[in-house]
Structure 1
Amino acid sequence: MAKQKMLKFVDVQRDMPDKRPPDLRRADFREIYGEFATEKAGEQAGRCSQCGVPYCQSHCPLHNNIPDWLRLTAEGRLREAYDISKSTNTFPEICGRICPQDRLCEGNCVIEQSGHGTVTIGAVEKYITDTAWEEGWVEPIRPAQERPESVAVIGAGPGGLAAADMLRRAGIQVTVYDRHDRAGGLMTYGIPGFKLEKHVVMRYVDLLSESGVEFVQNCNVGEDISFDAIRGKHDAVLIATGVYKARDLQAPGVGAQGIVKALDYLTASNRKSFGDDVPEFESGELNAEGKRVVVIGGGDTAMDCVRTAVRQGATSVKCLYRRDRTNMPGSQREVANAEEEGVDFVWLSAPKGFTGESVQGVMVQRMRLGAPDATGRQVPELIEGSDYVEDADLVIKALGFEPEELVRLWGVEGLEVTRWGTIKADFRTHATSLPGVYACGDIQRGASLVVWAIRDGREAAQAMIDYVTQGAAIAAE
């Protein structure tokens, strides 16, 4: 009788790939987790209970067929596991690294609920795809038939690239317009290397280029080319710009030198990792070396900032968040990693103002959590007379992002937006108020996760394929 490959969760404990010690990982921007060995990946995949209702799958925005590729991994059928993983996810190697699995698939694992510890889904997903790249299973897209229809994608982030991938598989001609000199969006310039090493993104961009996707870089729509010109050149257009406008503070002294935006700070650090000349980094403006750093915010961007500052050699790094640990929006796994690396979290605190023309300190107000609001989250309330000053040489504002005013910036007539400034589009087809124009990712749903942008991009691509091919069929009649 063949040995049972699955249902090992009773006998085999949950295990993760080795994590580099904090003192070593503080010194560089390499990813902190190692790779599973083949035997370990199979063993951990074999802990899956193969439950009848896979909550891991239903709580994944892409509805990845997780139980099947875990079973195939446990059986040593890695090529098949990769094929199934890739069938629903354009970037499994990226999701395996940066998805907040503790809030999505792993957080809803059935054996986790029964006290046995979740299956390490993300680490196995990363292992499968990295193996696929090493073995040469990942190949350029070769459509069965090339089509004459052309689609423009504005924005080379995860949503835009996911759409470009699917459109090319259908034989559609794809041109991606992006404001940066490298594709990838926040995956390239926002997320630090210790979570996502840049070669992982760049090799996929290179693959898309080999697959026939044309990239037009350093292209600001509305300045270098008009939106109307793009519409005129293509049969359909996808807006996948993301949201880059930083939310700001209204407080005395907020304009002081040394108070910077999170994305500016992270972009400078990532450009430096590429070997670019970054004057703002060299001058010290966007460099934490030797400084007392205070980061304001509690989301994943704040976690990226505090952990970057540690690696740049900051004297101290503190994170101010107005709620407590339980109520913070960022990944708890990231908080734990940051604490291991020496970051000090100051819970229930908010900035009241800043001291010094060149910032010297943050005036901090202590908070407590009051009654829940309409969303169910407890509302922070001030504790009178508890103010104090936190010394700081560099303050990083990581307060989230809002949409840019694309309609005004691009001079577009008839493109409807929501009251939040996002583009109004159908959440199934992603069609906007303009014929042949679609939107996906953060510019449609607001600031969210990479995995949601991938889902949106894939859905939008399918709707666009239907649109351009039906139009061609009608024209041929």
Structure 2
Amino acid sequence: MAKQVMLKFTDVARDMPEKRPPNLRRTDFDEIYAEYADRKAAEQSSRCSQCGVPYCQTHCPLHNNIPDWLRLTAEGRLEEAYEISQATNTFPEICGRICPQDRLCEGNCVIEQSGHGTVTIGSIEKYITDTAWEKGWVKPAAPREERQESVGIIGAGPGGLAAADMLRRTGVQVTIYDRYDRAGGLLTYGIPGFKLEKDVVERRNAQLVDGGVTFELNCDVGRDISFGAIRGKHDAVIIATGVYKTREIEAPGVGGFGVERAIDFLTASNRKSFGDTVEEFENGRLNAAGKKVVVIGGGDTAMDCVRTSIRQGAESVKCLYRRDRANMPGSQREVQNAEEEGVIFEWLSAPKGFVGDPVTGVMVQKMRLGAPDVTGRQAPEVIEGADYVEDADLVIMALGFEPEDLPVLWDEPDLPVNRWGTIKADYVTGATALEGVYAVGDIVRGASLVVWAIKDGRDCAEAILNDFNGVQRIAAE
């Protein structure tokens, strides 16, 4: 009788990879978690209960076959585990690092609900694919035959890269256009190295080049090439630009020196990590060193900003969020990491304005949670007479992102957008009302997760291939 290798959750405790101590990790931008050893990865995988209805898989946007690759890892069959993992996910080692597993797969793990502690799915996913890279199992696209069809992709973020990979593996000719000098989008310039080291992204970009994808970088659509010209060069076009316009607030002092956008701050920091010369960093504008930093917002971007500020040597770092800890949109794991590193959170606090130019403080109004709003969340209400000023030399606005006005920027008035400015597209195929034009990721959904962009890119690539092959899609009733 075969030895039972799974269902060990009653005997084996949950054990995350070792986390570097805060006093060390706050001094650099290296990832904070160590890699699992083979034995530890197998041990933690063996805790999986192999559910008949795997909620982890159901709550993963990509519906990754998590129980199967956990079992294969527990059995030491790592190459097979990798094959199962990459069958549904173009970038599993990236998702393993940056997905909010506590809100997705791990947060819905059955043994977590029963009080035994979730399986460490994200860390094992990362381990499997990192091992695959080390062993040489990760291969670039090598289509059996080349196809004549050509697809242009605008945006080299996760959605566009995922679509490119899928299309190239079938022999489709793919060109990616991106305004930046490096591919990856927010993976490259938005997410700090302590969550996603840049060589992890760069090796994926190199793999796509090795597989035959053409990159046109430093290419700003609407300025360096027209949207119409791209449509004319390709049989299909995928818009995967993401959303980069910072959501603003109207308050006294907005726009003053020292009140900065999160995307500018994070991009400057990431460029420095590549060794680039960044004038705004060198002159101190986007450098937190020695400053009292206040970050406004409660999402993952805000967490990236506070933790980056700590590593840059800020004198102090505070985060203002208008709701309480339980109602913040960011990962609770990230909040814990930030607190360990010295960040102070001021819950139920919102900006009313900014003092000085250059900034010297934030006018803060205290809040309480009132009746639920239309989404079911309790709406924050101002507590009259509880205002105060928080000292600040640098204020970073991390209030989320909105889409740019693409129909105007690209001189394409027929590009269909909704009242929020995101592109109207089929949520399954990505098809828009323009013939041969598709859209995926945040430019359709609004600011969302990397894993959703990957799913959209993969689904769109499949739809385009079906269109090329003359396959008719049966509409869902």
TM-score (norm 2): 0.98
Q: Secondary structure at the match of 2:460?
A: helix
Query: What is the CA distance between 1:80 and its match in structure 2?
Result: 0.2
Is the 8 Å Cα contact of residues 353 and 363 (structure 1) preserved in structure 2? yes
Q: How far 1:3 moved relative to its partner?
A: 2.7
Cα distance in 2 between the residues matched to 1:142 and 1:463: 21
The one-letter amino acid of 1:437's match is V
Kindly provide the CA deviation profile for residues 255-293 of structure 1, in whole angstroms up to 9, marking residues without a partner as x.
Answer: 211010000000000000000010100000000000000
Deviations along 1:395-436, whole A, 9 cap, x unmatched?
000000000000111011322111111000011111001010
Letter in 1 for 2:21: P
2:271 equivalent in structure 1: 271
Structure 1, residues 70-93: CA drift from partner, whole Å, max 9, x if none?
000000000000000000000000
Secondary structure (helix, strand or coil) at the match of 1:470 reads coil
Instruction: Give, in whole Å, the separation in 1 of the partners of 2:288 and 2:52.
Output: 50
Q: Can you give the 5+ residue segments of structure 2 that lack an aligned partner in the other structure?
A: 472-477
Kept in 2, the 8 Å contact 1:238–1:438? The answer is: yes
Give the counterpart letter for 1:371 in structure 2.
A
- The one-letter code of the counterpart of 1:196 is L
Match of 2:30 in 1: 30
Q: Within 1, Cα distance between the matches of 2:214 and 2:407?
A: 25
CA distance in 2, matches of 1:26, 1:166: 38
1:107 deviation in Å?
0.1
- 2:298 equivalent to 1:295: no
Structure 1 distance, partners of 2:265, 2:326, is 27
CA distance in 2, matches of 1:426, 1:147: 26
1:266 & 1:468 partners in 2: Cα distance? 40
* Counterpart secondary structure, 2:469: helix
Alpha-carbon separation, structure 1, partners of 2:88 and 2:299: 27
Q: Is the 8 A contact 1:236 1:468 kept in 2?
A: no
Identical-residue share of aligned pairs (%): 76
> What 5-or-longer segments of structure 1 have no aligned partner?
472-477
Distance 2:237 2:316 in 1: 47
d(CA) in 2 for partners of 1:210 and 1:59? 33
Distance in 2 of aligned mates of 1:380 and 1:419: 25
Task: Report the counterpart of residue 95 of structure 2 in structure 1.
Answer: 95
Question: 2:223 is aligned with what amino acid?
Answer: E
Q: Determine the structure 1 residue equivalent to 2:281.
A: 281
Q: Name the counterpart of 1:461.
A: 461
* Residue 475 of structure 1: aligned partner: none
1:63–1:88 CA contact under 8 A, matched in 2: yes
Q: Is the 8 A contact 1:436 1:467 kept in 2?
A: no
Residue 40 of structure 1 deviates from its aligned partner by: 0.3
Structure 2 Cα separation of the partners of residues 141 and 165 of structure 1? 7
Per the alignment, residue 43 of structure 1 pairs with 43
> Aligned residue for 2:198?
198
CA-based RMSD of the aligned residues comes to 0.7
Task: Give the structure 2 partner of residue 61 of structure 1.
Answer: 61
Deviation at 1:373, TM superposition (A): 1.0
- Matches of 1:62 and 1:24, distance apart in 2: 35
Partner of 1:333: 333
Equivalent position SS for 2:448: coil
2:122 counterpart of 1:126:
no
Within a 5 Å distance, the mapping from 1:231-246 to structure 2 comes to 231-246=231-246
- Partner in structure 1 of residue 82 of structure 2: 82
* Corresponding residue SS for 1:40: helix
Q: Distance in 2 between matches of 1:461 and 1:418?
A: 23
Q: Residue 468 of structure 1: CA displacement? A: 2.6
Pair 1:107 & 2:102 matched: no
Shift of 1:139: 1.1
CA distance in 2, matches of 1:273, 1:134: 24
Partner of 1:73: helix, strand, or coil?
helix
Whole-Å separation in 2 of the counterparts to 1:199 and 1:446? 28
Query: For the residues of structure 2 that align with 1:463 and 1:420, how far apart are their CA atoms?
Result: 25
Between the aligned partners of 1:376 and 1:444, the Cα distance in structure 2 is 23
Q: CA deviation at 1:469?
A: 3.3
TM-score by length of 1: 0.98
- For residue 118 of structure 2, what is the amino acid of its counterpart? T
Aligned to 1:474: none
- Alignment partner, residue 20 of structure 2: 20
Q: CA deviation at 1:350?
A: 0.4
Matched pairs, number:
471
Runs in 1 of length 4+ with deviation above 6 angstroms?
A: none
Q: Distance in 2 between matches of 1:390 and 1:312?
A: 21
**Residue number in structure 2 paired with 1:379:** 379
Amino acid of the structure 1 residue aligned with 2:229? A
Counterpart residue number, 1:311: 311
> Per the alignment, in what secondary structure is the counterpart of residue 123 of structure 1?
helix
Residue 211 (str. 1) matches residue 211 (str. 2): yes
Measured in 2, the distance between the counterparts of 1:238 and 1:163 equals 9
Matches within 5 A, 1:150-165: 150-165=150-165
Once the 2 structures are TM-superposed, how far is the Cα of residue 394 of structure 1 from its aligned partner?
0.2
Deviation, structure 1 residue 253: 1.0
Give per-residue Cα distances to partners, 1:309-359, cap 9 Å, x unaligned: 000000000000000000000000000000000000000000111111210
Q: Could you tell me how far apart the structure 2 residues matched to 1:336 and 1:354 are?
A: 28
